[in-house]
Homo-oligomer: A and B are copies of this chain.
Amino acid sequence: MDSIRYDWRRLEEVAAELFEKVGVSDQHAQTVAQSLVHADLRGIESHGLSRLPIYLSRIEAGVLSLREAPEIVMQDGAAALVDGKNQLGAVIGQTALELAMSLARQTGIGFVGVRHSNHFGSCSFYAEKAMEKGMILLVLSNAPESMAPTGGIRPFFGTNPIAIGIPAGQEAPFLLDMATSVVARGKIALAAKKGEQIPEDWAIDPDGNPTTDPQRALLGSLMPIGGAKGYGLAMFIDILCGLLTGAASGPAVQSLYDNWTHPQNIGHVFLTIDIQRFWPLPVFQSRMDEYIREIKAVPKRAGIEEIMIPGEIERRKMNEQREKGVRLSLAIAEELEQICIKYGVDWNKAKICS
């Protein structure tokens, strides 16, 4: 057994308690806890509670500014700019999302740029919330350097993610949440640990050549999806999240892990579309259902049981894990248990005894 199941609500409670122990306010602690557990529920371990230890360490090291509140520095029509003031990323993200939804209610569209932010969890957390309100959300974020521009051999861009949520009716909604790199750096680190080779299109070595050796890849750069196309998408996201907002861009975005002196100064963009400006929501939702069914009816390749909609696998996982418990790997569970012992929080209450 290399994983244990936990009750997702209890996990949220435990995580929130831990954040409160290091001085995060009640409400903010809940937001960050929900953001992390949401990723675990969807099976995205890389953005789940595995990040809790580094979040806590950074707070304790004083690299974040818990006492500041995100501030709206510009609001005009459908556009706004939020200065996150180096608060917790999920708290800033939540503020920006709410503002973007409020703008969309007023003008049909909300466009909120964010600067001075931190790692804000998985984008799908925000997409889910927007979809619940009948809105389409597009979220962009820049991230610390890991990808070279096409022709270059040193990391410059982050794996700059793009996420889009579009509500459906009875079918699973459309929820695309993707990095602009072929894979995350973590997958290469895992291959290195296991002594396995990696596919040729994942990364380049420090000389800029494709490599199947994960050790060489870790010294080099991640590859963007679709070659120069992914380079273009990552750069677009960096310009909007970094240059347009006034956040850091390129290699100036600080690492979550290797830097204990400077704020990350990450930038995000939240774009909301109020569907009801175009159609009554139920009309749009049933068109989405019909459309999704058309896609699922496309003839399948041998061995494929069902054509899945972006986000559908994760949604099924979430439903299953809400019911049966969230699986955490033993390594993460043990790390969290140690942290709970340190702060006097009861870890075992989240465990599901089977």
> Which A residues fall within an 8 A CB radius of B?
74, 76-79, 81, 106-109, 111, 113, 136, 148-154, 156, 164, 166, 174, 176, 178, 182, 204, 207-209, 225-226, 228-233, 235-236, 239-240, 242-246, 249-250, 271, 273-275, 277-279, 284, 287-288, 291, 294-295, 298-302, 304, 306-310
C-alpha spacing A36/B271, complex, angstroms = 32
C-alpha spacing A299/B308, complex, angstroms = 41
C-alpha spacing A180/B307, complex, angstroms = 19
Contact among B108, B236, B308 with A176 in the assembled complex (CB-CB below 8 Å): B236
Where chain A touches its partner, the secondary structure class is mixed
Contact among B153, B239, B295 with A291 in the assembled complex (CB-CB below 8 Å): B239
Q: Are the CB atoms of A152 and B299 closer together than 8 Å? A: yes
Contacts of A225 in B (CB 8 A): 225-226, 229-230
Q: Are the CB atoms of A77 and B298 closer together than 8 Å? A: no
Nearest-neighbor residue (CB-CB) of A228 within chain B:
B310
C-alpha spacing A275/B240, complex, angstroms = 10
A302 smallest CB distance to B (angstroms): 7
How many copies of this chain?
2
Q: Are the CB atoms of B310 and A231 closer together than 8 Å? A: yes
Nearest-neighbor residue (CB-CB) of A277 within chain B:
B79
Q: Are the CB atoms of A288 and B81 closer together than 8 Å? A: no
A295 smallest CB distance to B (angstroms): 5
A-B contact pairs, 17 of them (CB 8 A): A74-B277, A77-B277, A79-B107, A79-B108, A149-B295, A151-B304, A151-B306, A152-B301, A153-B299, A154-B299, A166-B239, A176-B229, A176-B233, A182-B226, A232-B310, A243-B284, A245-B278
Contacts of A295 in B (CB 8 A): 149, 152, 156, 235, 250
Contacts of A108 in B (CB 8 A): 76-79, 111
Q: Are the CB atoms of B228 and A274 closer together than 8 Å? A: no
Contacts of A244 in B (CB 8 A): 136, 273, 275, 278-279, 284
Q: Are the CB atoms of B178 and A229 closer together than 8 Å? A: yes
Contacts of A76 in B (CB 8 A): 107-108, 277
C-alpha spacing A109/B106, complex, angstroms = 13
For the A-B complex with A107-B109, A111-B273 known, give 10 more contacts whose Cβ atoms are closer than 8 Å: A77-B78, A136-B240, A148-B298, A150-B307, A151-B304, A152-B300, A174-B235, A208-B300, A208-B301, A208-B304
